[in-house]
């Protein structure tokens, strides 16, 4: 039964993506002459992800706690990475940001085209020139007042342990003198397990931490900034885990505030 439902879910996601692509394409034609931030096509792409998640019979995704209605300006957002379902979950946040993603994703028909129209940034893993170019594009978005989103682990963790954070996001924040905004996700690991095409029932939540200023920091502070972000993400995730089945059952007003 899980196999059949998983096949149906992939078909549903594909149909939602295809429909969303034509909507996004129409919006691009109308808005690109004056939308230098690609805000409209970016938000369209994120909302396509939200729609696909809401129609997926396995998933109950939402935002936990109070989150900013808008995040603008010079901000680098970072999050832990549990699953390929994470972008569907994080897209529930109510602001636009440009995502750094594997270049291979941009080659996927429809989805890759949508990422390009949204203004997301491709990078080839292990390619120094590609990484340098991707960071330059991130800086361009930051200069325009558009936040960027990066998974500092670089790939999905196979366990509940966070992988070591790579330097890129933190060097970017310091070089751009941008604020760092930690996010945390929980519950998506079982939503779409790594190296599996089968979906599983999941309660996924995303929450937002406190902005960390990099004003006055230099590249000598990269490790310090990484540790500050890691501590926040671990604490945020610990608060989510009881609500997503990753820890003891939560009770009281905190549990009630989960979306």
* 204 SS3 class: strand
Burial of 124-136, coded b for 16+ CB within 10 Å and e otherwise, reads eeeeeeebeebbe
For 80-169, strand residue ranges (E) read 98-102, 121-123, 148-150
What pLDDT score was predicted for residue 140?
Answer: 97
**16-26 pLDDT per residue, tens:** 999 999 999 99
What pLDDT score was predicted for residue 146?
Answer: 97
What pLDDT score was predicted for residue 256?
Answer: 32
What pLDDT score was predicted for residue 155?
Answer: 82
The total number of structural domains that make up the chain: 1
- 185: phi then psi, degrees, rounded to nearest 5: -120, 150
**Residues near 142 by Cβ (< 8 Å), separated by ≥ 6?**
74, 75, 76, 148, 172, 176, 178
User: 């930051």: which residue's tokens?
Assistant: 142
Q: How is residue 48 written in tokens?
A: 């396509």
Residues of the chain with pLDDT under 70: 1, 247-259
What pLDDT score was predicted for residue 43?
Answer: 98
What pLDDT score was predicted for residue 99?
Answer: 98
Q: What range does the domain containing 78 cover?
A: 2-256
Where residue 243 sits, what CATH number does that domain have? 3.40.1130.10
What pLDDT score was predicted for residue 252?
Answer: 34
**108-157 pLDDT per residue, tens:** 999 999 999 999 999 998 888 999 999 999 999 999 999 999 999 988 87
User: 């491709």: which residue's tokens?
Assistant: 122
What pLDDT score was predicted for residue 121?
Answer: 98
């Amino acid at each position: 039964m899980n196999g059949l439902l998983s096949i149906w879910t992939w078909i549903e996601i594909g149909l939602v993506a295809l429909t969303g692509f034509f909507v996004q394409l129409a919006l691009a034609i109308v808005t690109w002459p004056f939308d230098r931030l690609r805000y409209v096509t970016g938000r369209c792409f994120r909302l396509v992800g939200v729609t696909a998640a809401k129609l997926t019979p396995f998933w109950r995704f939402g935002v936990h706690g109070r989150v900013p209605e808008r995040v603008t300006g010079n901000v680098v957002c970072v999050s832990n990475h549990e699953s390929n379902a994470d972008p569907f979950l994080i897209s529930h946040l109510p602001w636009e940001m440009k995502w750094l993603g594997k270049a291979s994703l941009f080659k996927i028909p429809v989805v890759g085209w949508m990422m390009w129209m949204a203004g997301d940034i491709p990078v080839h893993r292990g390619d120094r020139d590609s990484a340098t170019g991707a960071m330059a594009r991130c800086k361009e978005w930051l200069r325009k007042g558009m936040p960027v989103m990066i998974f500092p682990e670089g790939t999905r963790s196979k366990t509940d342990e966070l992988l070591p954070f790579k330097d890129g996001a933190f060097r970017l924040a310091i070089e751009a003198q941008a604020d760092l905004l930690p996010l945390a996700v929980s519950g998506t690991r079982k939503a779409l397990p790594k190296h599996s095409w089968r979906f599983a029932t999941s309660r996924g939540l995303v929450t937002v931490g406190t902005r960390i200023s990099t004003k006055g920091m230099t590249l000598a502070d990269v490790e310090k900034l990484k540790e500050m972000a890691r501590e926040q993400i671990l604490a945020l995730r610990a608060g989510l885990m009881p609500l997503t089945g990753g820890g003891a059952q939560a009770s009281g007003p905190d549990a009630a505030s989960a979306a």
